[in-house]
Amino acid sequence: MKHAFLWLAMISMSILACNDQATPETKEKEAPMKTFDEKTFQEKLNYTDHHSYARIEEAVVTHLSWNAEVDFDQKIIKATATYKINNKKGVDTIYLDSRNLNIMEVRRDDHEGALGYMTHDRSNFLGTELAIPISLATQTISIDYSTTEGAAALQFLEPVQTAGKKHPFLFTQSQAILARTWIPCQDSPGIRFTYDATVKVPKGMMALMSASNPTAISEDGLYNFEMDQAVPSYLMALAVGNISYQSLGNETGVYAEPELIEASAYEFADMQNMVDTAESLYGPYRWGKYDVIVLPPSFPFGGMENPRLTFATPTIIAGDRSLTALIAHELAHSWSGNLVTNAAWEDIWLNEGFTVYFENRIMEEIFGADFANMLAILSYQDLNDEIARLTEEGKAADTRLRLELKDRDPDEGLTAIPYDKGFYLLKLIEETVGREKWDEFLKSYFDKFAFQIMTTDAFVYYLTTQLINQNEAWGDQIRLEEWVHGEGLPDNCPKVNSTRFAQVEDQLSAWQNGAEPTTLASDEWMTPEWLHFLRNLPDEMGEEQMKALDKGFGFTNSGNSEIVSAWFEKVIPNNYQAAEKATEKFLFEVGRRKFLVPIYKAVLKSEKGKERARSIYEKARPNYHAVSSETLDKMLLD
Ligand code: BES
Ligand code: ZN
């Protein structure tokens, strides 16, 4: 109440002042943001990236020419990277990030022979600072280097780890700060550059990047790439393998190993429709083609929004198109993230929260509001579980949308908070201002800030002055500051209802009251309904109960990775014998961290607990990408 009075008083003061410039008095009390002021906005766009050595105001890379050869025998990439630079301040040094790279020689165009350069090694996730001397005349610098075994972005797979079992495979994962482990670069989301590349791979293999791509295997193993739109380093990507292509529409297509191409094309049949829908919501898709590559199962994420070519886990190939929200999500990043980019990893909710929101809107358009509502409720459950977990672990500060990640690996910020709390804030804004106004705002936001960065502060200011201030009540209804800088979930979080979930709950009660699994009305259920059912099973179940469920619904051997892992989470702590083999097989084959962490946790909770979890991990670890093994090492190898 006191707060509201103060606010009113300040408003009337600025009205009295008869202009928009705050009087010195009101400034001291932090005048409410009233109308948009460009200078204030620019100030709020200032930020420090704690995760890069690059000095963005001094000298930046504007274009990269990457000439590389992939050596599957040694499991390294040898390359020459040539950078066009913009020496903004006429400085004598440009700073790049690198980590575990073997630097052979550094040159520049205005200097004969090899250059001396300095390195500063933090020996942690930040890696090594490369300080390269430049002059006012320097236009380009070049670095000859090779990657090493410790290149965390790279995973070289043996043939047995692929679907075809005959050819090796390589893929990269650069986000958040792993690009520096395979290319020396200014590894900061706020620095964008265009790139071209020439990549040599063994004959018979295809190479693909986040750029213009081939659709057939070349005879000589040589591939050329162009990326004419400036992108930050975390969107640099490479995949090499025995890969084939199938078109899915005008601007869309899918890449996969030949063994998986048909199933992939079937699963993603809605892709062109998704692109059209996304465009109708928030403006043109600006990247030319939109393709997806289905990677081998060790890919540590569900998907990664590499421009023009989303990288995806094969665990979404369920056979019934029921897990394609993930494609909607990665596609949505073509606006939120790839066009308007979080300035630093502390602002990651601007990438991920917006994307979950956009994903939900695409799903609503294509599969209907009742489907989108189920996804929203699952997201609400994830959010509450995450807040409970973080709070319990003494990390309540990480439940804020704007994170503090100084001296921390940005991977620590990768919780459900930026995703699901971000989503619910945007949903709240939508419900408060009305969909029409909100969509209009978002569309112009993506347009106005395309190919630029955004900080949380600048966004809050922009949103407040451009939209929220249009109606006096909206600010109090939304409580933006509390959402962005406060811990936990504000009590004005939108509530979502789902009749389809209500029906699942009815069936759950029927089962708990003794109904046989096969008599439940579950014929029409899709993945979200099954997940709701599984998540709400009692924590403690007896062998007979689990057996009957399994017999009725085939959970243990389900081809749907989401369903299998939700089932494992429930039955492993109850020592369900019949799932033991399948659990081990899953943990051995699948490297997606989102599944691995809860399943290993479940194993840890079971009777044989630690011993069993460790022995499975010992066998499976060589199959995992560094992103997953680094997380699991902390859990399992103390
Ligand atoms: N960009 C993320 C993955 C990411 C974020 C990698 C931060 C490294 C650092 C990607 O778009 C993502 O969110 N993937 C999710 C998909 C899901 C939310 C539909 C995943 O992998 O589970
Ligand atoms: Zn995402």
**Domains of the chain as residue ranges with CATH:** 38-47+345-485 (1.10.390.10), 50-238 (2.60.40.1730), 243-342 (3.30.2010.30), 537-636 (1.25.40.320)
Is the CB–ligand 1 distance for residue 617 below 6 Å?
A: no
Question: Hunting for tokens 């590389």 — which residue is that?
Answer: 68
Q: How many CB atoms lie within 10 A of CB 147?
A: 25
Is the CB–ligand 1 distance for residue 303 below 6 Å?
A: yes
User: Among candidates 427, 533, 532, 437, which has minimal Cα distance to 489?
Assistant: 427
CB 243 within 8 A of CB 208: yes
Strand-strand pairing, 309-312 and 290-294? parallel
Active-site hit among 267, 305, 330, 352: 330
**∠ CA(306), CA(240), CA(590), 5° rounding?**
75
Mutate to test the pocket of ligand 1, among 352, 356, 593 (most ligand atoms within 8 A of CB): 352
Is the CB–ligand 1 distance for residue 410 below 6 Å?
A: no
Tokens linked to 403: 């994170």
Is the CB–ligand 1 distance for residue 302 below 6 Å?
A: yes
| Interval between CA 95 and ligand 2 midpoint (Å) | 29
Q: How many CB atoms lie within 10 A of CB 618?
A: 11
| Interval between CA 20 and ligand 2 midpoint (Å) | 39
Q: Which amino acid is at 90?
A: G
Is the CB–ligand 1 distance for residue 352 below 6 Å?
A: yes
Mutate to test the pocket of ligand 1, among 274, 301, 345, 409 (most ligand atoms within 8 A of CB): 301
User: Among candidates 494, 268, 469, 488, which has minimal Cα distance to 399?
Assistant: 488
| Interval between CA 348 and ligand 2 midpoint (Å) | 9
Model pTM above 0.75:
yes
Mutate to test the pocket of ligand 1, among 125, 236, 294, 304 (most ligand atoms within 8 A of CB): 304
Is the CB–ligand 1 distance for residue 467 below 6 Å?
A: no
CB 73 within 8 A of CB 118: no
CA atoms within 13 A on the CB side of 570: 25
d(CA 309, CA 211): 7
Say how far residue 15 (Cα) sits from the centre of its chain: 44
Is the CB–ligand 1 distance for residue 330 below 6 Å?
A: yes
Active-site hit among 195, 285, 419, 445: 419
User: Among candidates 389, 448, 456, which has minimal Cα distance to 418?
Assistant: 456
| Interval between CA 419 and ligand 2 midpoint (Å) | 8
| Interval between CA 630 and ligand 1 midpoint (Å) | 17
| Interval between CA 573 and ligand 2 midpoint (Å) | 30
The protein residue whose alpha carbon is closest to atom 1 in ligand 1 is: 304
Is the CB–ligand 1 distance for residue 408 below 6 Å?
A: no
User: Among candidates 487, 311, 329, which has minimal Cα distance to 394?
Assistant: 487
Is the CB–ligand 1 distance for residue 304 below 6 Å?
A: yes
End-to-end CA distance of the chain: 51
The protein residue whose alpha carbon is closest to atom 20 in ligand 1 is: 302
612-624 pLDDT, tens per residue?
A: 999 999 999 999 9
Q: Is 609 left (phi over 0), alpha (psi -120 to 50) or beta?
A: left
CB 153 within 8 A of CB 70: no
Of ligand 1's listed atoms, the one at least distance from the Cα of 410 is 9
Active site residue 419: yes
User: Among candidates 313, 193, 381, which has minimal Cα distance to 627?
Assistant: 313
Q: How many CB atoms lie within 10 A of CB 250?
A: 11
Question: Hunting for tokens 């929260």 — which residue is that?
Answer: 353
Residue spans of the chain under pLDDT 70: 1-32
Is the CB–ligand 1 distance for residue 562 below 6 Å?
A: no
Q: Which amino acid is at 49?
A: D
| Interval between CA 408 and ligand 2 midpoint (Å) | 20
Tokens linked to 111: 């200097």
Q: What is the pLDDT of residue 34?
A: 84
d(CA 256, CA 265): 9
425-465 pLDDT, tens per residue?
A: 999 999 999 999 999 999 999 999 999 999 999 999 999 99
**∠ CA(430), CA(434), CA(438), 5° rounding?**
55
d(CA 482, CA 601): 32
